[in-house]
Amino acid sequence: MESADLQQKIVSLCKRRGFVFPGSEIYGGLANTYDFGPLGVLLLRNIIDSWWNFFVTSRQNIYGLDTAILMSPKVWEAAGHTSSFNDVLVDCKECKNRIGADKLIEAFLKKKNKFEKVEGRPVKELEKIIETEKIPCPACGKFNWTKPRKFNLLFETNIGILSTDQSLAYLRGEIAQGMFVNFKNVLDTMRPKLPFGIAQQGKAFRNEITKGNFIFRVLEFSLAEFEYFFDPKKDNSEDLFEYWQGEMKKWIMSLGIPEKKLSWREHTDDERSHYSKRTIDLDYEFGFGKEELFGLAYRTDFDLKNHMEKSKIDLRYTDPGTGEKFIPHVIEPTFGINRVFLTLLTEAYSENNERFILKLHKDIAPYKAAVFPLLRNKPEIVKEAKEVYQMLLGAGISVVWDDRGNIGKRYYAQDEIGTPYCVTIDHDTLEDRTVTLRDRDTTKQERVKIENLLKKL
């Protein structure tokens, strides 16, 4: 299947089956915003739970937080986001198309088979490439651009009701700062020893102007990340880098993503964020091309040092052995959850003779099983099926009931949303207390005793 087709099919499946809806749709939509529907929210929660279990619950030295979205504006000044968290944009003077200068150049070079990453390069340099390559507007084909200009990605808002006493605040552009400003609180309450991590998951907001590719690039998105603090005199940052690279890959592969679709890409000096000494991205082959899924950055002591300077609060760690006080360094694995969502759908989508099957990993699928009474007008069968349904619900299994249409249609409907198992209750069930268990991927059916069903699932 052509990549563009695949992307389009995923978008339409998401809308049709209640995974993702365009934001504010009844008012004509709001660009680059999306709402997760009843099935989308189940998948999203399963992804987040899996992440939290893998990186937080199962590790003794990673502590969780859930910090406020609104923070003092001083946080963003100290962290360098008010000055350095920018996108460079150009406007077409002919058709008013606004586009990221880096994306414009990269797409143009890719078509000419001389692709290179130019993200993060100085504005002057981007301007020069657009000029020398005479890059036309992809919307109208003309070559008549404004000069490239920097736009800050932080969303501004105001605190206070009366305009006279309103004060400026920002929606958080990354969730990491919540972890840095609570570093001392975690030290004081949990008494952790280096190396240790502070993790959280929540929404981040960025005033992205460029085209989003569905939920890949949006104005607000779910992010999960942790700051892994260490003593640079005792631990080698390169070794830690390698360790976390392995763990990041292990997690996404545990959700069914094959290694061959993943690749690491080192950031160039120009491209790296203002806080990072080294950044490497884990890229995935999306329907629209190979793009960043996760990032791993060596933020050194940049953030804690700046917060300590600006807040005048001592954010140093005291070595329990020597009593030496110092600011730890930090390595940050970061995971865009929206992108994981899209990756899992891209990987799972398959077609077989007009049938759509979402081969989602069984642990992550919105519903683990669907329960059907073979005939909806036979009260004994419906009653028995309801009991099986209640039994699975009671065991904490995410299960759905369906008694519409014929059995074949019900199977297709469940395949399309990735339900791994369908359980059908029929006449034989009333005689021998067995049900038909049908597997999504093999379509094989077997008779299973009701008492063994839970174990089987």
Residue 100 engages ligand GAP in binding (rule: CB under 6 A): no
Residue 17 engages ligand GAP in binding (rule: CB under 6 A): no
Nearest CA to 178 out of 56, 69, 21, 264 is that of: 69
3-state secondary structure of 321: coil
Q: Which of 121, 172, 307, 339 binds ligand GAP (CB under 6 A)?
A: 339
210 vs 207: CA distance, rounded Å? 9
Toward ligand GAP, which CB reaches closer, 338 or 424?
Answer: 338
Residue 223 engages ligand GAP in binding (rule: CB under 6 A): yes
221 vs 174: CA distance, rounded Å? 10
Near ligand GAP in 128-147, by CB under 6 A: none
Q: What is the CA radius of gyration of the chain?
A: 26
Residue 303 engages ligand GAP in binding (rule: CB under 6 A): no
26 vs 416: CA distance, rounded Å? 26
Residue 440 engages ligand GAP in binding (rule: CB under 6 A): no
Give the helix ranges, DSSP H, for 54-154. 73-78, 81-84, 101-111, 123-133
Q: How far is the CB of 274 from ligand GAP (least distance, A)?
A: 11
Q: Which of 119, 225, 384, 415 binds ligand GAP (CB under 6 A)?
A: 225
Residue 294 engages ligand GAP in binding (rule: CB under 6 A): yes
The amino acid that residue 181 corresponds to is V
Asked if 71 and 205 count as a contact pair (C-beta separation under 8 A), the reply is no
Q: How far is the CB of 75 from ligand GAP (least distance, A)?
A: 13
Instruction: Give the nearest residue (CB) to ligand GAP.
Output: 336
Toward ligand GAP, which CB reaches closer, 271 or 403?
Answer: 271
Q: Which of 292, 303, 402, 415 binds ligand GAP (CB under 6 A)?
A: 292
Contact stretch for ligand GAP (CB under 6 A) within 103-111, 115-123, 290-298, 320-328? 290-298
Asked if 293 and 221 count as a contact pair (C-beta separation under 8 A), the reply is no
148 vs 239: CA distance, rounded Å? 40
DSSP letters along 392-436, please? HHHTT--EEE--SS-HHHHHHHHHHTT--EEEEE-HHHHHH-EEE
Burial of 265 from C-beta contacts in 10 A (0-12 / 13-18 / 19+) = middle
- With CB under 6 A as the rule, give the number of residues binding ligand GAP: 18
Residue 372 engages ligand GAP in binding (rule: CB under 6 A): no
Q: How far is the CB of 54 from ligand GAP (least distance, A)?
A: 17
Q: Mask of contacts with ligand GAP, 203-222, x by CB under 6 A?
A: ---x-x--------xx--x-
Q: How far is the CB of 47 from ligand GAP (least distance, A)?
A: 12
* End-to-end CA gap in the chain: 32
Q: How many Cα atoms are found within 13 Å in the side-chain-facing hemisphere of 256?
A: 18
Q: How far is the CB of 178 from ligand GAP (least distance, A)?
A: 10
Q: How far is the CB of 281 from ligand GAP (least distance, A)?
A: 7
Which residues contact ligand GAP (rule: CB under 6 A)? 174, 176, 206, 208, 217-218, 221, 223, 225, 292-295, 332, 334, 336, 338-339
